[in-house]
Structure 1
Amino acid sequence: MIGDFWRGVGGRLAERWVAALFSPTFAFWVGGLLAWLARSGARDDGWTSRVLAFGRELQGQPAIVQGIYVVAPLTLIVLSGLALQQLVFPVLRALEGYWPAPFTPLANRLRARLSRRSDVQTLRLRQLAARSLPELTADELAERARLERRHRRIPAQRVQRMPTRLGNSLRASESRIRARYGLDPIVCWPRLWLLLPETARQQTTAAYASMLLTVQVFICGVLFTVWTVWSWWALPVGLLVAAAAYARMLPAASALGDVVESCFDVHRRLLYQAAHWPLPTNPRDERTEGTRLTTYLHTSTRSPEPAFVQPAEFPSPGP
């Protein structure tokens, strides 16, 4: 009976193991096990033989005991993954630069430092942009492309800048949406998400999941340093993993910002239609109407203007 039970759930357990094998928590616990084994090996050269003996002993145990040895590590990894998910958002906010009040002086210094560097790069970019492409050398063309990418990753206004590169990268896309369309993405994005076509949702979800994965790897890298109590190499490995994850986090955040910005570029009309709000008639008026729509969605209004538009009254988007 027990054997039939384990055969019945074997497929589902295998799927869980496959998912767990590619999770940051699995690497974290395996690294801790290796650090412990390395410490045991340093004290006793017979740890390998003990592991093999344990494997042979396990083969002779009943199916229920073998199942416990299979399920217990998987349960530990899954529970660790759930705990890791709870840490992702607070850590992400900290990496963006949303720090408590006691850290305000530090945040201001870092913000000023990044702003000075950005201003120097912007001045250089303007100098290169003022010249025609045929006048630029290959090195200057590469420099211009690099400076344009960096320019997109920091808000144009100093007051909107954050003390970290990650925070500026995410804030920059928000500020461009607000400046271009008058729509506040913090207010409008949850509403627009409900209206997006499936393709746009999939692209956004994939970009968001990619960034969250880098945050999880960063957290596991930092926590990996606790295994230093067993093996010294856990400290440099953990710090190296955390640094690599943060470096990968920056392009992931930029990609997410580009996807969200593209959703507003292409599908913002859906937000006006769902709110029965009159569509802007030209780019100049769109910023004003977008600001009014944001205010309406955020705080509502009792004003009789503008008059709601029925779906049949919206102009056709064309072929």
Structure 2
Amino acid sequence: MIATTLVTEFGKKAAERWLALLAVPGLVFTGFAAIGLLLGHSRWFDLGSLHTRLAGWSGGTTQTLLVAVVAVGAASAAGYLARAIGGGVENVLAGQWSRLGDPLAKRLTARRRQRWDELNDGEHNEQRNRIALIPPISPTWTGDRLSAPAVRVRQNYGLDLASTWPRLWLLLPDSMREPLSAARTRLDTACALGGWTVLYLALGLRWWPAAVIGVVLAGLTWRRARAAAAGYADLVEATVDVRRDELVRHFAPDDGIGRAQGLELTERFRKGT
């Protein structure tokens, strides 16, 4: 009985997530795509022609059901494609560019670092921190914001965040895991919005109003991704701040708690790599 209830609740949550993240945005995009492919640039708002063409598709129950199935399938496919593109969008926002982008990335990083150094005089900390919380190592603000926890944790605690985090995660109670997971989901969702941006801009090659939608979504993606990245990075760093002592006591109960112990744990976690 309990197992059945758990499966039912899981199914409900999965369905709600599918509707929110894939189905509804996908259906909206599929609708615009159908309109755009039918009308094109020259007749972008020809509602009469659109009505005539859609009326030609109307038929019996079987045909209507087939159209509905195709629409839902196309919406789901568009949703998964947007999520996949979102991974690339996150890389772009985080400054993880391909080799072709390396020259530009290096110039932008150097420019950000120069400006950061100019403000790192003890009197302009607020302006400096608007550029980055650490000496810039990325061509983008989001990249430096996501990198800041690892740099600051290493400097202050001697811990390598990449190897420490999986072990720290296992020690966290659900009350701390849930906000972290939610923050990561917000970042993923913001980047997925960037995936929809790409799809609408691509549709804009056929139907220009879609390009306008894409530009608006691009602005929303930029703002939401920055906010989500900052929130997620803050939570990750705060989690280490709060649970670092517990981590050290768990793996080295007889040692003290300091940066030296953090460096020792880093060597232990990385196992010589």
**Short-chain TM bin:** 0.7 to 0.9
Identity over aligned residues, as a percent? 28
1:66-105 → structure 2 map (5 Å cutoff): 66-105=64-103
Report the alpha carbon displacement of residue 21 of structure 1 after superposing the two structures with TM: 6.6
1:162-181 → structure 2 map (5 Å cutoff): 162-181=138-157
Report the alpha carbon displacement of residue 23 of structure 1 after superposing the two structures with TM: 5.3
Residue equivalent to 1:127: 123
Q: Say yes or no: does 1:29 pair with 2:5.
A: no
Q: Which has the larger radius of gyration?
A: 1
**Which deviates the most, 39-48 or 286-295?**
39-48
The number of residues matched between the two structures is: 260
Report the alpha carbon displacement of residue 48 of structure 1 after superposing the two structures with TM: 1.8
Report the alpha carbon displacement of residue 72 of structure 1 after superposing the two structures with TM: 2.8
Q: Say yes or no: does 1:296 pair with 2:264.
A: no
1:283-306 deviation per Cα after TM superposition (whole angstroms, max 9, x unaligned)? xxx1121111011111159xxxxx
What is the root-mean-square deviation of aligned Cα atoms in Å? 3.2
Q: Say yes or no: does 1:194 pair with 2:173.
A: no
Runs of 4+ in 1 over 6 A off after TM superposition: none
1:11-160 → structure 2 map (5 Å cutoff): 18-19=19-20, 24-39=25-40, 45-51=48-54, 54=57, 57=59, 60-62=60-62, 66-123=64-121, 126-127=122-123, 144=126, 147=127, 149-150=129-130, 153-156=132-135
Q: Distance in 2 between matches of 1:21 and 1:103?
A: 31
Q: Is the 8 A contact 1:16 1:74 kept in 2?
A: no
Report the alpha carbon displacement of residue 37 of structure 1 after superposing the two structures with TM: 4.8
Structure 2 vs 1, CA of residues 232 and 181 (structure 1 numbering), >3 Å: closer, same or farther?
A: same
Q: Is the 8 A contact 2:203 2:210 kept in 1?
A: yes
What amino acid is aligned across from residue 111 of structure 1 in structure 2?
Answer: T
Please list every run of 5 or more consecutive structure 1 residues that lacks an aligned counterpart in the other structure. 1-10, 130-143, 302-319
Q: 2:185 aligns with which of 204, 209, 214?
A: 209
What amino acid is aligned across from residue 79 of structure 1 in structure 2?
Answer: A
What amino acid is aligned across from residue 243 of structure 1 in structure 2?
Answer: G
Residue equivalent to 2:213: 237
Q: Is the 8 A contact 1:177 1:185 kept in 2?
A: yes
What amino acid is aligned across from residue 61 of structure 2 in structure 1?
Answer: Q
Q: 2:202 aligns with which of 201, 214, 226?
A: 226
TM-score by length of 1: 0.70
1:261-312 deviation per Cα after TM superposition (whole angstroms, max 9, x unaligned)? 111011123433443454534xxxx1121111011111159xxxxxxxxxxx
1:29-56 deviation per Cα after TM superposition (whole angstroms, max 9, x unaligned)? 333234235436656833224435645x
Structure 2 vs 1, CA of residues 195 and 81 (structure 1 numbering), >3 Å: closer, same or farther?
A: farther
Alignment partner of 1:97: what SS? coil
Q: Is the 8 A contact 1:219 1:242 kept in 2?
A: no
What amino acid is aligned across from residue 246 of structure 1 in structure 2?
Answer: W
Please list every run of 5 or more consecutive structure 2 residues that lacks an aligned counterpart in the other structure. 1-10
TM-score by length of 2: 0.80
Q: Is the 8 A contact 1:222 1:239 kept in 2?
A: no
1:115-142 deviation per Cα after TM superposition (whole angstroms, max 9, x unaligned)? 122233434xx3267xxxxxxxxxxxxx
Structure 2 vs 1, CA of residues 179 and 168 (structure 1 numbering), >3 Å: closer, same or farther?
A: same
Q: Is the 8 A contact 2:23 2:76 kept in 1?
A: no
Structure 2 vs 1, CA of residues 279 and 255 (structure 1 numbering), >3 Å: closer, same or farther?
A: farther
Structure 2 vs 1, CA of residues 204 and 111 (structure 1 numbering), >3 Å: closer, same or farther?
A: same
Residue equivalent to 2:241: 265
Structure with the bigger RCO (C-alpha within 8 Å, sep 6+) is 2
Q: Distance in 2 between matches of 1:256 and 1:31?
A: 33
What amino acid is aligned across from residue 51 of structure 1 in structure 2?
Answer: L
1:186-242 deviation per Cα after TM superposition (whole angstroms, max 9, x unaligned)? 111122112211011110111111111111111221231122233223223313312
